[in-house]
Every structure is written in C-alpha cells, then in structure tokens.
Structure 1
Amino acid sequence: MDFEALRGYLLSKPGAAEDFPFDRVSLVLKVGGKMFAIVATQKDPLWINLKCDPVRAEVLRDQYGAVQPGWHMNKRHWNTLVLDGSVPDEEIKMMIDDSYELVVRGLPKAKRPQ
C-alpha cells in the first residue's frame, strides 16, 4: 500500500482528521481528538503505528514479521506495521479498522462520530 492509498483509507474513517503535532514527518490521524494512527512518512518503506488489542497484537506479531511492538508507543497496546508488501492490503485495512474502533469506543459519546 502506497502513501496516498494509506492516507485516503485513514481519512475515509468518519471524523478522521490529520495533523503533524510532533514534527513534519509524523502524520497523526485522530478521531475525537485521540490518535488512532501515526504514519512515519520519511521511512521507506512506510511505517504506521496502530492501536491494537493486546492479545491480537501478539498474534499479529507472531504471524507477520512486518508487525512489531509499537515504536515510541505503549508496546502492549500499539503495533508498528512496516509496509514492505508482506502484509496483504486487506489485512492492513482490518488493522486500521480495529485501531479506529478501539479509539472510538473509548471516546465519550459526545465526541464519537455520527
């Protein structure tokens, strides 16, 4: 998955907004003011940090070499996915969906997208 396809899918999530709060190369995607993805745009291949259920995070790390404990994040709740082509795009989308849903579920009802 290339950057434009990745960015497009991330922004297709209801209420998704992008920002560069840390630096000029770390694209942060938020919903309701909370992060659900961080893309390291300077990496080649791209890296993306995604929130993940801790049990599922371990399963994904065992299944794919490109899925690692979250770089600069809580390693129990975040994975870093290296977009090197070894993980199918549909699986990447499922990981993004899971991250987004975990964050939305944690939001107060007033901040959840309609």
Structure 2
Amino acid sequence: MERAELLAHCLAKPGAWLDQPWGEEAVAKVGSRIFAFLGPESGDRVGLKCGPTRELADEWLHRFPADAAPSSHIGRYGWNSLRLGGAIGDDELREAVDASYEAVVAKLPRRERPAAG
C-alpha cells in the first residue's frame, strides 16, 4: 500500500483531519487525538494503536517480525509502527487503521466524538 492511499483511508473516517504538529510529520486525528502517525511524506511506516496493552499489540510483532515494531515513546501503551509495502497486506493495514481509529474515538470525550451515521 502506498502512503497516499493509507492517508486517504485515514482521512475518510468520520471527523478525521490531517495535522502536522511537528513540521513535516503528518498525523491523522479525530477530535483532539491522534489515531495514525504517518511521519514525513517520504516515510514508509505508520504508527497505530494495535491493542489496549503492550502484550496484545505484540501479536503484530510475532506475525510480522520484519515489518512491525513497538512505536517509540508510546509503544508501552499498545502502539506499533507498521511498515508499508512489506509483508503486511493492504487489507490488514486498513483494518489496523480502523481499529486504531475506533480505539481512539472510544476514549474521546462525548463532545469531541464524530456524529454517528
């Protein structure tokens, strides 16, 4: 999967928007919270919430040892960095984005959640 396609999938989510809080580092947010770290335009990885705990997120590391790693700084909270264009299929990447989005939306205050529907 190309980065542009992944970004389009992220931004198609209800209430999703693109932010660049660290210069060229792109992130997809819903409300005030990040659900996908896309990095610079030249990047080939995406950081996603892959489980509520580090132990559950480690499943990705076991399945894709060459293409998944705990995210820097926030890995202990279940965030992984997944490589685009590797062994992780496009459908699995989309599902991982969807799960990350849903996990973040569930933690948002009601006033920040996108309208259902």
TM-score (structure 2 length as normaliser): 0.88
Listed as ranges, the gaps of 5+ residues in structure 1 are none
Q: Which blocks of at least 5 consecutive residues in structure 2 are unaligned?
A: none
1:109 is displaced (CA, Å) by: 1.1
Matched, 1:101 2:102: yes
Structure 1 runs of 4+ with >4 Å offset: none
SS of equivalent to 1:28: strand
State the partner residue of 2:83: 82
Asked if 1:35 corresponds to 2:34, the answer is: yes
CA distance in 1, matches of 2:74, 2:21: 18
Deviations 1:14-55 (A, max 9, x none): 00000111121x111100110001112223xx1111112124
What does 1:1-114 align with in structure 2 at a 5 Å threshold? 1-24=1-24, 26-40=25-39, 41-43=41-43, 46-53=44-51, 54=53, 55-65=55-65, 66-71=67-72, 73-76=73-76, 77-114=78-115
- State the Cα RMSD in Å: 1.2
- Residue type at the aligned position of 2:28: L
Identity of aligned residues (%): 35
Q: Report if aligned partners of 2:3, 2:84 keep a CA contact under 8 Å in 1.
A: no
Cα pair 2:61 2:69 within 8 Å, conserved: yes
TM-score (norm 1): 0.90
- What amino acid is aligned across from residue 38 of structure 2 in structure 1? V
Instruction: State how many pairs are aligned.
Output: 110
